[in-house]
Every structure is written in structure tokens, then in C-alpha cells.
Copies of this chain bind each other. A is one copy, B any other.
């Protein structure tokens, strides 16, 4: 399973394609031959999630199985399943972002690709930096987190 770390500034061309950075590309071609699934993020941050296909396949049944009499669960299903786009890196290591995902995450030219362990996140650069600046410490922490010593 992948271990994606670090962030990369990349840009989208006029046709909506983004070139995956060489290091990430290598890892992707190893663990899933470049076969990935791109979808929308469900929490309040409008970014995209990029899963290696095997990782997505472990996740998908869990999402499908959620009790969908619950509003929050329905929301998660609609967002994640309804936006999921399986794709493959092209010969130059690029992917084409489907238009609905482009607009969901407000992607323009400048993007940031953020490693998050098993998956990656794709942000509009502007939104990423805005998020970095906003709200630092005023949220409730889970106990595991309060005990951390970094």
C-alpha cells in the first residue's frame, strides 16, 4: 500500500490535464500500475481525493454498506460514489480531471497535490493556502491527539 507524503505545486493545462510529479508517478505505477480513482472529498474542504485503485476497492464496499436512512451517510455516498472516476495515467504521466470534479474543487490553473499516507489530495492552490492560514487551534481535539508529543 502506498505511503504518500509531502506536497507538490503542479498546474493544470488548458484542457484540464495535470502531470503527476515524477516521484508520485513512480509510486503509483508500482502499487497500481497507474490505475487510480479520483473523487470528491466529503468533509467541508472542497478538494479531490486520489486513491490507488486497490485502496479504493477496500473503501468502496464500506461506503456502499452505510445505513442510508441517515442523512450524513447518504451525503457521503452521493459525494464519494457519485463523483468517483476511475482512470489511468497516460504515457506522459498525466490525468484528465473530469469537468464536474474540476468545478467541485474550484480547480483553475495552479494546484497542490498533498500526500496523505494511503491517498493523495488535490487542491486549488489558492484554497490550500487559504486553508493553511485559517483556524489553527480553536477546535476540540480527540484525546489521542492531546496526548501526542511531536
Q: Which residues of A contact B (CB under 8 A)?
A: 5-9, 37, 41-44, 49, 59, 62-67, 69-86, 98-100, 104, 112, 114-117, 121, 131-132, 135-137, 139-142, 144-145, 148, 150
Contacts and interface: CB of A to CB of B under 8 A. Distances in A.
Q: Is the interface of A mostly helix, strand, loop or mixed?
A: mixed
- Give how many copies assemble into the complex: 2
Contact of A72 (B75, B98, B140): B140
Given A65-B144, A104-B132, 13 more contacts: A9-B100, A43-B137, A44-B137, A64-B117, A73-B142, A73-B145, A75-B136, A77-B117, A78-B114, A78-B121, A79-B132, A84-B115, A100-B112
Contacts of A132: 79, 104
A17 to B, nearest CB: 17
Given A82-B115, A84-B115, A86-B5, A72 B42 contact: no
